[in-house]
Structure 1
């Protein structure tokens, strides 16, 4: 494999750290938690994992189990549960969103299916083993369209599910209204394998039950790297020397050699209502909890009706090259979320939004993750491209097996996904991404 680092010579300073200065609604629903200590002073480790999201937590756990005599250090710039992994919509998706028509695309879809289902199974086992209270609900997932103009896209999705041999139900407007409590959608497809959950609670639970040879430090950003044998990583109040470094920070990883010009960073925005009263639930037919993704991912709205009777709306996508989301940026989206909510549930005018927040997603131009060895004793699992709960969990665990020399047939599936294609530097990147978002918003303009 090609190496992108020059041993003992690469020194890198991190210029931009992820910032979300708005309260994550999922975390706000949970009891207060005692965060882990910030690293102070010097520390030595066999493995340093940078980023305590799904990939980082999975890598740290698996490598610690594979090598119980090794010391593993896991650091995060923020707080577990309030980082990007705790801010998503809470779908542990078991199948790829799209398949394509070429032989190569069909093969890749099968790779993704095996990987996603393995990631979901791993999480299910951990939730059951440790009794992680994260509202784990095996409710499946709806994909729905509003306008007849989107019927070809829905038909393509149905063909993809048939190709993958995934069972599904095709639902008309009346059937959807009965299941969802809203008559807004005209056509829907239900597939049974998706899990709905509170992502902040899941990441907290995973972090609280790491093996004994894993040390987690929160509010400990990596500010500088000197790669070598061993590598040294500088934090605000400390320094870590490690034989192996693993990068699982997704978007912020674009600042490192071997990962630059591969990642595109986007922000999405979500709002969560107050819980519906019994009388309010009766107005919409008292449905069971559900999750719904739009036929057009950029322009459409992702919705959930949660187990505790709240409605989640996630909509709006913005290019965020420096990983910063201010509260003012989120506030600008709230009125749009309110309009989306009332268009689906006009009977619920008296239900207020309780929380609104933002989250970061890292994409690659061709959809392939950056996974594997990127230099001597340096590894990466970044570029989640959405569906990150299951996908990044299995990316982290398979990377740990790969780095530890442990045989795992899923390693071949990860390698078969390929590597990210080149993205240009700014400002050309900004122009390209914003043009793409405008095009996607126009294509799905009937679905809002």
Structure 2
């Protein structure tokens, strides 16, 4: 038995979508040439690429939930081209250039799908602000500018007055704008891609896999109402990879949380006074992410929790406290909109590793995985899922060589209870250190 996702039902991105069509679920016994577990960014990309390589193969894409209910539909809607903040510290410039190239290949791929299928997901080449509130944040900004200069990437300093004209708040002292980021509605993008899969990819939703075992050179996946036998299994299961016995004690389950408002009225929009459709990430790693969506919603994201039992670690009392913290961050930035209510507060689970290393590759005969996106799943999931399919069929490429060079084995974690105590202490310390930026 595996521990299944226990995501809340209050994700604003998902609830803003029309009700989905009825799910096709796993029933009876099936044989497939390939099975992809997890229909997020990685799984969708892997299934699509497999179908391109093997148009006559039977490919099953299986998810325990509805598409977009999991982590891929719960992020803050950034598709970032730059290496993650920690990866930017890597001493080898070639390593960072490979990451940059992989992320941009993912963006181009997503752009192509949005254009080809007319996916309505607020996709836009909006760039991204990295904002500082005070001296601590500004020190991080100065360091970020230094890293951008070393990387040879364009950036622009945005001072307080200009920034306030964009954000509709004078809360931030300054920011750095980088042009390569795209913004989108994540649940709409993920669902849209699932609705336009190749003909030989069969999507099975609400079909949790409870067991995995090797039988006569094949893998048997056992569900509640059926089973699948396949010679090749691709795992796009992120943190849940460990539930199948792989990368155990190497992945850390962390949940981050967001709240958003209803769409602002015309009068509220006038009081707000800023622009639509922008995204700001914090200069300080533990600070607050803010979005203004294309459809007039303000989103606040902060608060991190170690969740060894996934969604079971978060009850309504915890969510209520997080919502209050988000409220404080919102009112601090937008006091003139203090009466505008939040309509949704939600969390999403993702995997990080102690050495901030992504896993990509073959786990054992017939089993391949991309796991541990370290919090930057949209671009990384897309390109890693695509290249995992290449690896599974034996199709070599420069990009495949690059991703194998920039990935590795996540570090082993200390045993419990030391792991839980250490992670919780580190999160509390980061929150205290970053309190002026939250």
Normalised by the size of structure 2, how large is the TM-score?
A: 0.96
* Structure-1 separation of matches of 2:139 and 2:223: 51
CA RMSD of aligned residues (A): 1.4
Hey, what does 1:349 align to over in structure 2? 338
Q: Deviations over 1:7-27 (max 9, x none)?
A: xxxxxx42x111013321001
CA shift for structure 1 position 46: 0.8
- Deviations 1:347-381 (CA, angstroms, capped at 9, x unpaired): 11221111111111111111111111010010001
- The aligned residue for residue 290 of structure 1 is 278
What are the ranges of 5 or more consecutive residues in structure 2 without an aligned counterpart?
A: none
The one of 29, 38, 60 equivalent to 1:73 is 60
Distance 1:425-1:51 versus aligned 2 partners, 3 A rule:
farther
1: CA distance, partners of 2:62 / 2:90: 41
Secondary structure at the counterpart of residue 59 of structure 1:
helix
**Count of matched residue pairs:** 433
The answer on 1:261 being equivalent to 2:249 is yes
Distance 1:193 1:308, change over 3 A: same
Task: Describe the SS at the equivalent of 2:374.
Answer: coil
CA 1:139 to 1:100, structure 2 compared with 1: closer, same or farther past 3 Å? Answer: closer
Show the counterpart of 2:265: 277
Q: Quote the residue 2:415 is aligned against.
A: 425
Shift in Å at residue 297 of structure 1? 2.7
Deviation readout 1:165-214 (Å, 9 max, x if unpaired): 22111011112111211100012000111111110000100101111111
Give the C-alpha shift of residue 102 in structure 1.
5.5
Map of 1:329 onto structure 2:
318
1:275-319 CA-to-partner distances (Å, cap 9, x unmatched) read 111121111224132100011233x11110010111011110000
* Correspondence for 1:53 among 36, 40, 61: 40
**Counterpart mapping for 1:327-406 below 5 A:** 327-406=316-395
Provide the residue aligned with 1:89 in structure 2: 76
Alpha-carbon offset, residue 86 of structure 1: 0.4
**Distance (whole Å) between structure 2 residues aligned to residue 244 and residue 144 of structure 1:** 45
2:166–2:274 Cα contact (<8 Å) kept: no
**How do 1:143-292 residues align onto structure 2 when only pairs under 5 Å count?**
143-228=130-215, 229-292=217-280
Residue 25 of structure 1: aligned partner = 12
Q: Give the conservation status (yes or no) of the 8 Å contact 2:138–2:283.
A: no
Unmatched runs of 5 consecutive residues or more in structure 1? 1-12
Distance 1:123 1:111 in 2: 19
**2: CA distance, partners of 1:310 / 1:383:** 30
2:37 and 2:203 mapped to 1: Cα distance? 10
State the Cα distance separating 1:331 from its structure 2 match.
2.2
